[in-house]
Amino acid sequence: MVERTWEALNKLPEARLIFTAHSIPTSFANTSRYVEQLQEACRLVAGELGRSEWRLVYQSRSGSPMQPWLGPDIGDYLKEIGGGADVVIVPIGFLSDHMEVVYDLDTEARQISDRLGIRMARAATVGVHPKFVSMIRDLILERTAGAPRLALGDHGPSHDDCPADCCPRS
């Protein structure tokens, strides 16, 4: 993710760094480590980029409008920061540039940015980047060959099997 973000930052070196992930109902978020894990991933990537200021926002909200979901939405956040800004959007919560990412960011967020006069670049997702593929291999070996459990950040490796109180019903 760091390399993909550098590529986007090279286009707009002074840009605000905005990470996106899929929104979920707040009732789900309140009973899981979803936000905590996303915040940690954002912090680690931003740190590798030498950036201390960044923002995590969400996209792809669906479901009943009566049910609260995580926010702010990427479109709402772009409207909040307004024109004249440079932004690099990093879809940290997504593995591939699939239809949802492309539509939400390359179509909708791009239209909002253009309308507001925001210069925008989007980092590619990790996709099949060799470092990502290697990491997946390492994770498999950790679990099948008893290799050491590696982890970045402050939270250590997560469990493989959910304990009974892992995801309580909301």
Does the CA dihedral 6-8-10-15 come out positive or negative? Answer: negative
**Residue 43: count of CB within 10 angstroms of its CB:** 17
CA distance 168 to 122: 35
Model pLDDT for residues 33-45, shown as the tens digit of each residue: 999 999 999 999 9
Which tens digit of pLDDT belongs to each residue from 117-170? 999 999 999 999 999 999 899 888 888 887 777 777 787 777 677 777 766 665
pLDDT attached to residue 146: 77
Beta strands in 23-167 (DSSP E): 55-59, 86-90, 119-122
Residue 167 has a pLDDT of 63
If you average pLDDT over every residue of the chain, what do you get? 90
Question: What proportion of the chain, given as a percentage, has pLDDT over 90?
Answer: 64
Domain ranges in the chain?
A: 2-127, 128-158
The yes/no answer on whether domain 2-127 falls in CATH 3.40.50.1400 is yes
Residue appearing with tokens 């390492």: 138
Minimal CA–CA distance to 55: which of 24, 76, 30?
A: 76
